[in-house]
Amino acid sequence: MRRKRGEAWYAKKGGHMSILVFNNEEVCEAGDVTIHQLLISRGLNPSAVMIRVDGRIIDRDSYATFVIPAGAKVKAYPFVGGG
Amino acid sequence: MESLEAAMFSKHDPAVVPVLKKARVGIAGAGGLGSNAAVFLARAGVGTLVLADYDVVEPSNLNRQHFFVDQIGMPKVEALRDNLLRINPYSSYEIHHLKLHKENIPAIYENVEMLVEAFDTVEMKLLLIETWVRRFPEKPLIVGSGIAGYGGNNDCRTERIFGRVYVCGDNTSDAVIIPPIAPKVALVAALQANQALELLLEKK
C-alpha cells in the first residue's frame, strides 16, 4: 500500500517501518514481514527480483525466512529473461 | 608498409587503440546477447575476450545469434571464436565450453576487468549478479534485461542500479513470453558493448 510522504520520512528517521524502493518510488511497509511476503504483497515474482537490504544482497534461498528489520531500507530490482 | 592490424584501427583515436588492445573483458553466455556483444567488442579492438557457454548452435538460434548455417551443431563458444578470428585475428579469444555456476564463475573470470552478462534465464542472471558483486565488487558488471520482441527503440536504456552494476535493455519485455528477434537483441548487446567501451576508456 502506498503511504503518504510524511510516513516515509518518519520511517527513514528510524521509525518502525521499512522502506521498499521500487522503480525509484518509495513505499512504506509495515515491519515484521518476510521478503517473500513483501514481494507477493507488491505483486512481484520473488524468483525474478534481486533484493538489497541496507545495501546487502540477500540470498534468494532466504526470502521466505528473512524478516525485514524495523527501519531497514529495502531495494527491489526486478529482471526479465532473455539473452 | 602499414600492418593490416594498424590499418584496421586507423579510424580510431590513436589514444584508444592501445587501451582497448590490452583490455580483458569477460562475456558470460554466447547466445543472442553474448555472440553479438563479442562481435562488437572484437571489432572495436578489445584485445582479450573470455567467453563461456555450455550450449551448441541450433537452427532456432539463427534468427538473432551471430552464427551461420554451417555451424549448426558446433559448441557456441567454438563457432563464436572462429567467427571472431575472421573479424579480428589480432585479439585473443579464451573459450570455456561448460555450464557456469556459482563455484566456477570467479575462477574463469578472475583476470578480466569487467563482465558482460549474457545469460538467458532470470535465475542465472540473479545468480551471476550475487556471485560477482560478492567476489568482485570493484569490477563492472553489465547485465542485459529486456531484449524481446521488436520496436520500442527508445525504451532501451542503460542504468547503473548500484555500485558497479549496470543494466541494459527495456527491463520489461520477457523472452519467456515474447519471442526475441535479431534487431532488438543486437540493440541491447550493442548497449552492453558500448557501456564496456565507455568504462574501459574512462581513464584514458
pLDDT band of residue A12 (cuts 50, 70, 90) is very low
Per-residue pLDDT at A28 exceeds 90: no
Question: What is the rounded average pLDDT of the residues B49-71?
Answer: 98
> What pLDDT does B104 receive?
98
Torsions phi, psi of A41, nearest 5? Answer: -65, -25
From chain B, the residues in CB contact with A82 under 8 A are: 32, 120, 144-148, 173-176, 180, 185
Per-residue pLDDT at B48 exceeds 80: yes
> What pLDDT does A41 receive?
86
Percent of chain A past pLDDT 90, that is, above it, reads: 37
CB-based contact B143 A79, cutoff 8 Å: yes
pLDDT digits (tens, 9 = 90+) for A37-65: 988 988 889 999 999 988 899 999 999 99
CB-based contact A82 B176, cutoff 8 Å: yes
Query: Which residues on chain B place their C-beta less than 8 Å from a C-beta of chain A?
Result: 29, 31-34, 117-123, 125-126, 129-130, 133-134, 143-148, 161-162, 167, 169, 171-176, 180, 185
pLDDT digits (tens, 9 = 90+) for B126-157: 999 999 999 999 999 999 999 999 999 999 99
CB-based contact B174 A80, cutoff 8 Å: yes
> What pLDDT does B71 receive?
98
pLDDT band of residue A4 (cuts 50, 70, 90) is very low
Q: Could you tell me the pTM of the whole model? A: 0.91
> What pLDDT does A9 receive?
39
CB count within 10 Å of CB B136 equals 19
Cell matching residue B81: 571464436
Contacts of B102 (CB under 8 A, 6+ apart): B127, B130, B131
Taking the C-alpha atoms of residue B193 and residue B40, their distance in angstroms, rounded to an integer, is 6
Per-residue pLDDT at A13 exceeds 50: no
Contact B116, B140 (CB under 8 A): no
What residue spans define the domains of chain B? 16-201
Q: List the single range of A67-71, B23-27, B89-93, B126-130 with lowest mean pLDDT.
A: A67-71
Question: What is the rounded average pLDDT of the residues B107-128?
Answer: 97
From chain A, the residues in CB contact with B173 under 8 A are: 80, 82
Q: Is 3.20.20.150 the CATH number for B16-201?
A: no
pLDDT band of residue A29 (cuts 50, 70, 90) is low
Please, what are the domains in chain A?
5-78 (3.10.20.30)
